[in-house]
Amino acid sequence: MAEMNFLNEQKRLEALRSYRILDTDEEADYDDLTEIAAAICDTPIALISFVDKDRQWFKSHYGLAVDQTDRCHSFCSHAIQDPERLMQVEDAQFDQRFHENPLVTGSPDIRFYAGMPLLDKDGFALGSLCVIDQKPRLLNQIQQKALRTLAQQVIDKLSLRRNNRELLKINQQLTATNSKLRETEERLNKANTDLTESKERLQTILDLVVEGIVITDREGKITYTNRRNREIFKMDEKRMLTLTNVSPEFNNRTLDGSPLPQEEHPVTIALQRGATTINREFLVSDQHSNSVYLRMNAVPIRDHNEMITGAIGSFADITDSYFLQQKLKEREVSLRAAISSANLGTWHMDLQTKELFASARMKELFGFYQDEQISYKSVIGQIAESHRKKVIAIAEASLRQNEPSELEYPIIGYHDKKLRWLCATFYAYTDPENPNIFFFAGTTADITERKMEEQRRSDFIGMVSHELRTPLTAIKAYTNLLQRIAGKNNDKMLVSTMEKVDTQVKRMEAMINGFLEVARLGEGKIRLNITRSDLASLFKIAEEDSLVTINSHKVIFAPTETTPLDVDQDKIEQVLINFINNAVKYSPPGTTIEVSCITKNGMAQVYVKDQGMGIPIADQPFIFDRFFRVESDAMKDKKGFGIGLYICKEIIERHHGKIGVESTEGQGSVFWFSLPVSII
Ligand code: ADP
């Protein structure tokens, strides 16, 4: 029982605390109630008292100075024992419970006490509203009712207060929740704008990519297309979004033109089998019924449950490269035919592995057996020692500069030890299938016959020229002698005849010298006597020479500035005069020949322009070759051996210069050479 009481008291105290009224400030509302109670009950003291654990505390104490007393002296703690009822003590002096109470025996000398418990709606008596008098008495009915009503008022106020506090708390919580909600909303809004922005950005990026992009739903219906996609199909977005990947509008076909089975379309493969397709090539039609070759990749789109919800395809228009490839294939076929009919040896080398692949003819030319594995090194080893270094240098330069080159060299066959002359080409290329793989390749043609023939011709010319030089020197001497005698004898007829003989002799001498030069060039014996020269003075000499020797044509020399050159002056003069003489020889009398020079990028460029027969385009690449002459009707009565330009080319190239021609048949030619200008 005692335990239950204790528990009840605990609960009562908890309830009391929940109102948070203890030790609060005085409040007019409560003070009004005690004042009214005192007035109605006609007592000097009225209290609103709460019974705490060890004390009673007064929220309002009308007519009493103290605001709390010990609980053990409390009347109210007795009153609350019977919470429903008003407790009246008529005279405390005669009440067993209180007659020894210091509040009775001393100040404030309590005699009469009436306390109405303050019972809250949960049934806890928190304290009481009480009136106290210093003389014995009792309350009448009206006063008792008033005290009950006022006690109820106190309780109402307390509940209101507690409710208010709770409301306030809820309100605060609500405000907090509200602001959190607002924050979340703002964050959501931001996320939304971010999403829209990144979607727009993605679209811009997708519109920039060079590939066409298509996104479809589960059924293959197109839900997104980028700009390139629409360009390829020449279709607007609205229309595209009504189609599927296999709509008849696309006219999907295989490369041979037969209809592409629906289940073979990369997007369908992604949707139906969940598989990725890479580089599938097929044919479609654009809106204008033009065929377009596509190369397409497609992947499925899956949701978080791994369910396929759509597919993404990216594709490129490969129409141009497809046709190019076709053409390349055709060209390869004809190239192969050409190689075999020209009996060319071919080879290529993988630059990563250094592996050399040589055709049967190539092996044959180098004197290897067909089943023999040959290497770059073993091929190089067969090149005649006189030419080996040069061949390696040219091959390496060709590889380094990625420029094809061509040269002629002798080799000794590996097994048969035979001497052969080869004309070889070199070029570097990348694997069309894989741009990271580099190849070095070339062809070799057997030119032994031609070389031998040239050699024989050269030997013959050299020998004949030598033989002719001796009698010619004698003829020259006799001519000079006869000229002098004729001069002395004043024999005009003989003088003029001897002059003609002299001119013919000089022509013959020039011709023989030319032949000898060619023979020497063949043996690599041409020597340069380099001195500091000036192009302007070279022009001058040529001009004076042409004034004396040419009267059939108008030769105009453009003014030339001083241009220093380190050259063999006689040889360059020889080139210039050769160009001018050819211009005279191959253009009709009375026409103009212009000689001019400009300096550009450190090179002096000399031009000789005529209004002659010109050179057919097909012949132009060979014009500087030894013994080459154009064969045409116009050339029938033009005598010559086709060595002048060959010598010119050798001379200019040995000066590290360049030589060339621009010509239109029937209209004229411009022969030019360029030489490096020396720094003063
Ligand atoms: P040649 O004049 O003795 O035949 P060249 O080596 O000087 O030998 O010239 C080679 C060929 O180039 C000539 O046979 C001629 O067909 C052509 N040629 C040279 N110069 C000219 C030119 N100015 N106009 C047209 N053809 C030319």
451-523: CATH topology: Helix Hairpins (1.10.287)
Tell me what the pLDDT averaged over the chain comes to: 90
User: Reduced to 3 states, what is the DSSP secondary structure of residue 133?
Assistant: strand
- The closest of 341, 423, 407, 414 to 379, measured between CA atoms, is 414
554 CA distance to ligand 1 middle (Å): 19
Instruction: Point out which residues pair with 283 in neighbouring strands.
Output: 253, 293
Conformational region of residue 341, where left means phi above 0, alpha means psi within -120 to 50, and beta covers everything else: alpha
Which residue's CA is the nearest one to ligand 1's atom 19? 582
Domains 2-139 and 160-322 share a fold: yes
SS (H, E, C) 426-491: EEEEECCCCCCCEEEEEEEEECHHHHHHHHHHHHHHHHHHHHHHHHHHHHHHHHHHHHHHHHHCCC
Q: Which amino acid is at 402?
A: N
Nearest Cα to 562, choosing from 417, 678, 390? 678
By percentage, how much of the chain surpasses pLDDT 70? 98
- pLDDT-derived band at 640 (thresholds 50, 70, 90) equals confident
Residue 3: is its pLDDT beyond 70?
A: no
Higher pLDDT, 647 or 115: 115
Q: Does pLDDT of 96 surpass 80?
A: yes
**Which residue's CA is the closest to the ligand 1 atom numbered 8?**
642
Q: Calculate the CA dihedral of residues 624, 628, 630, 635 and round it to 10 degrees.
A: 110
DSSP 626: T
- Is there a contact between 92 and 113 (Cβ–Cβ < 8 Å)? yes
Q: What share of the chain is helix, strand, coil (3-state, %, to 5)?
A: 45, 25, 30
- Tell me the pLDDT band of 1, cut-offs 50, 70 and 90: very low
* Whole-angstrom Cα Rg for the chain: 61
Check residues 351 and 606 and name the one with the higher pLDDT.
606
Ligand 1 midpoint to CA 629 (Å): 6
Helix or strand holding residue 46 (H, E): strand 45-51
Judged against a pLDDT cut of 80, whether residue 305 lies above it is answered with: yes
* pLDDT of amino acid 4: 55
Which of 107, 110, 85, 116 lies closest to 97 in space, CA to CA?
Answer: 110
Please state which CATH class domain 160-322 belongs to: alpha beta
The rounded Å distance from CA 590 to ligand 1 centre is 19
Quote the tokens at residue 466.
């030598």
pTM here is 0.41
Write the pLDDT tens digit of every residue in 503-561.
888 878 877 887 777 777 766 566 788 999 999 999 999 999 888 889 999 999 999 99
Residue 597 one-letter amino acid: C
Q: Is the pLDDT of residue 203 over 60?
A: yes
User: Which ligand 1 atom minimizes the distance to the CA of 640?
Assistant: 3
Q: Which of 555, 609, 629 best tests ligand 1's pocket when mutated (most atoms within 8 Å of CB)?
A: 629
pLDDT band at 2 (very low <50, low <70, confident <90, very high): low
Q: Indicate the residue type of 230.
A: R
Q: Given phi > 0 = left and psi -120 to 50 = alpha, else beta, which region is 138? A: beta
- Which of 37-41, 213-217, 454-458, 489-493 shows the lowest mean pLDDT across its residues? 454-458
Number of the ligand 1 atom closest to the C-alpha atom of 614: 25
Between the CA of 642 and the centroid of ligand 1 the distance, in Å, is 7
pLDDT in tens, 148-166: 999 999 999 999 988 888 8
Atom 14 of ligand 1, residue of closest alpha carbon: 629
If you average pLDDT over each of 416-425, 477-486, 590-599, which comes out highest? 590-599
531-676 CATH, one of 3.30.565.10, 3.90.45.10, 3.30.470.20, 1.10.150.650: 3.30.565.10
Angle, vertex CA 146, rays to CA 141 and CA 148, nearest 5: 95
Question: What CATH fold (topology level) applies to the domain 2-139?
Answer: Beta-Lactamase (3.30.450)
Per-residue pLDDT, 524: 58
HSE-CB of 621 using CA atoms within 13 angstroms? 1
CA of 646 to the centre of ligand 1 (A): 10
Give the atom of ligand 1 at the shortest distance from the alpha carbon of 608. Answer: 23
| 380: enclosing H helix or E strand | helix 376-381
Q: What is the mean pLDDT of residues 204-224?
A: 90
Give the integer Cα–Cα distance in Å for 244 and 268. 10
Q: Where are the domains of the chain?
A: 2-139, 160-322, 343-446, 451-523, 531-676
The predicted-structure confidence for 279-300, as pLDDT tens digits, reads as follows 999 999 999 999 999 999 999 9
**Residue 578 alpha carbon to ligand 1 centre in Å:** 10
- Cα 240 from Cα 232, distance rounded (Å): 12
The pairing of strands 112-119 and 355-358 is unpaired
Asked if omega into 108 is within 30° of 0 (cis), the reply is yes
Determine the average pLDDT of the residues in 591-607.
95
Q: Which of 234-238, 456-460, 591-595, 650-654 has the lowest mean pLDDT?
A: 456-460
| Å from CA of 582 to ligand 1 middle | 6
> What's the one-letter identity of residue 437?
I
Max CA separation in the chain (angstroms): 198
Structure token pair of residue 398: 């060709």
CA distances, 121 to each of 79, 127, 152 (Å): 18, 14, 10
Q: Which fold has domain 343-446?
A: Beta-Lactamase (3.30.450)
**Which residues sit with their C-beta closer than 6 Å to ligand 1?**
582-583, 586, 610, 612-615, 623, 628-630, 635, 640-646, 669
- With H, G, I as helix, E, B as strand and everything else as coil, classify residue 311: strand
Per-residue pLDDT at 152: 94
- Whether the CB-CB separation of 57 and 30 falls below 8 Å is answered with no
349 three-state secondary structure: strand
Average pLDDT over residues 185-198: 89
- List C-alpha distances in Å: 450 to 184, 414, 445, 628: 92, 22, 11, 14
Q: Hey, what are 250's tokens? A: 């696309």
Per-residue pLDDT tens digits for 329-347: 887 787 777 777 778 888 8
Give the model confidence (pLDDT) of 264-284 as tens digits: 999 999 999 999 999 999 999
Band (pLDDT 50/70/90 cuts) for residue 468 is: confident
The partner residues of 557 in beta bridges, in order of sequence, read 595
393 HSE (CA, 13 A, CB side): 5
How does strand 68-70 pair with strand 87-89?
unpaired
Higher pLDDT, 439 or 623: 623
| 612 token code pair | 């002659």
239: left (phi over 0), alpha (psi -120 to 50) or beta: alpha
Render 193-243 in DSSP notation, one character per residue: HHHHHHHHHHHHHHHHSSSEEEEEETTSBEEEE-HHHHHHHT--HHHHTT-
In residues, how long is the chain?
A: 680
Q: Is the dihedral of CA 462, 466, 468, 469 positive or negative?
A: positive
pLDDT greater than 80 at residue 126 = yes
